[in-house]
């Protein structure tokens, strides 16, 4: 069977390139994209959003490469990317709360003017963090520039397709276990959040390794992406709920909290049901079904 096509859109490995070279190319690409956003994007809020996306891809890549990188290199790079993401987290979280509020008001067809005070408060918080972002951006830019130089020294000489697919199987297994844990603890927000992260990680890994996948795996990549987006919406609504709960009670905050409490269980259940279907195959069966060489 032929592998999944359209490598440019997927942003993963290319046919014929060595795995070590391909992984270094992708790492440099994500680091360059993040640095470019921090250096040249005049919209600080957009720059932070795009930079954090690149950092998530880099951290997922590190987990895929962990056995080859070794403990010392893996921990050093993971710490660098995690610390960089944390520096930008307050602004990104403020943006998420604002975006989630706007989406909720739109979905419920509520009068925007009735919630102007809440929105103005969230907008002001995001704007203030944006004005104070120069120093965090500078620190992140410096860290990423140093990380970009270290990529050439990553110990990837022994990287093989077999080991890469083995790590993807492990990622799938972790997601399957996290799904079951979330099922056992239906009201446990941390358990659901942990599963959401495993879903996102598997999506990144499949995109990286798409050159080794059957054509039929394209639908699987799209499905795990959709599940991740759905689970992300659950997380964003939960974060907004916490913010609203911390405010003085008003008819508007009560209305929004009630709406979230109605919507959250439905979204969460839908995500879990789709997860059940996606993760139904055992890890070995998943690999044999979708990877060309297995």
Domain membership flag for residue 206: yes
Q: Each residue of 64-105: pLDDT tens digit?
A: 999 999 999 999 999 999 999 999 999 999 999 999 999 999
Which two structure tokens, joined as six digits, stand for 214? 């059957």
In a domain, 9, yes or no: no
Contact between 85 and 143 under an 8 Å Cβ cutoff? The reply is: no
Q: Residue 270 has which token pair?
A: 């839908």
Nearest Cα neighbor of 292 from 9, 13, 8, 23 is 13
Q: For residue 2, is pLDDT > 70?
A: no
Q: Are residues 95 and 179 in the same domain?
A: no
> What pLDDT is attached to residue 35?
97
pLDDT(188) > 80: no
Residues β-bridged to residue 213: 291
Containing domain of residue 178, as a range? 160-294
pLDDT in tens, 129-183: 999 999 999 999 999 999 999 999 999 988 999 999 999 999 999 999 999 999 8
Q: Output the pTM of the full model.
A: 0.92
Q: How many domains, the chain?
A: 2
DSSP 8-state class, residue 254: H
Q: Is residue 5 part of a domain?
A: no
């Amino acid at each position: 069977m032929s592998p999944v096509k359209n490598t440019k859109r997927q942003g993963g490995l290319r046919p014929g390139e060595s795995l070590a070279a391909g992984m270094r190319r992708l790492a440099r690409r994500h680091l360059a994209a993040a640095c470019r956003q921090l250096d040249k994007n005049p919209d600080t809020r957009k720059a932070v959003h795009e930079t954090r996306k690149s950092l998530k891809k880099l951290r997922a890549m590190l987990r895929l490469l962990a056995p080859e990188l070794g403990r010392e290199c893996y921990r050093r790079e993971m710490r660098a990317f995690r610390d960089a993401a944390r520096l930008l987290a307050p602004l990104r979280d403020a943006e998420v709360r604002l975006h989630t509020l706007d989406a909720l008001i739109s979905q419920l067809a509520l009068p925007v003017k009735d919630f102007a005070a809440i929105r103005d408060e969230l907008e002001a918080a995001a704007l203030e963090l944006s004005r104070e972002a120069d120093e965090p951006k500078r620190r992140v830019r410096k860290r990423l520039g140093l990380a970009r130089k270290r990529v050439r020294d990553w110990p990837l000489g022994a990287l093989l397709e077999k080991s890469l697919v083995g790590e993807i199987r492990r990622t799938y297994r972790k997601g399957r276990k996290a799904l079951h844990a979330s099922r056992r603890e239906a009201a446990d927000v941390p358990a659901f959040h942990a599963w959401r992260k495993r879903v996102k990680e598997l999506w990144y890994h499949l995109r990286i390794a798409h050159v080794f996948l059957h054509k039929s795996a394209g639908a699987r990549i799209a499905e795990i992406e959709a599940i991740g987006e759905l689970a992300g919406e659950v997380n964003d609504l939960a974060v907004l709920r916490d913010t609203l709960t911390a405010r003085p009670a008003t008819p508007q905050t009560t209305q929004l909290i009630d709406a979230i409490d109605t919507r959250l269980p439905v979204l969460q259940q839908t995500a879990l049901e789709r997860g059940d279907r996606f993760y139904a195959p055992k890890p070995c069966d998943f690999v044999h079904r979708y990877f060309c060489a297995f």
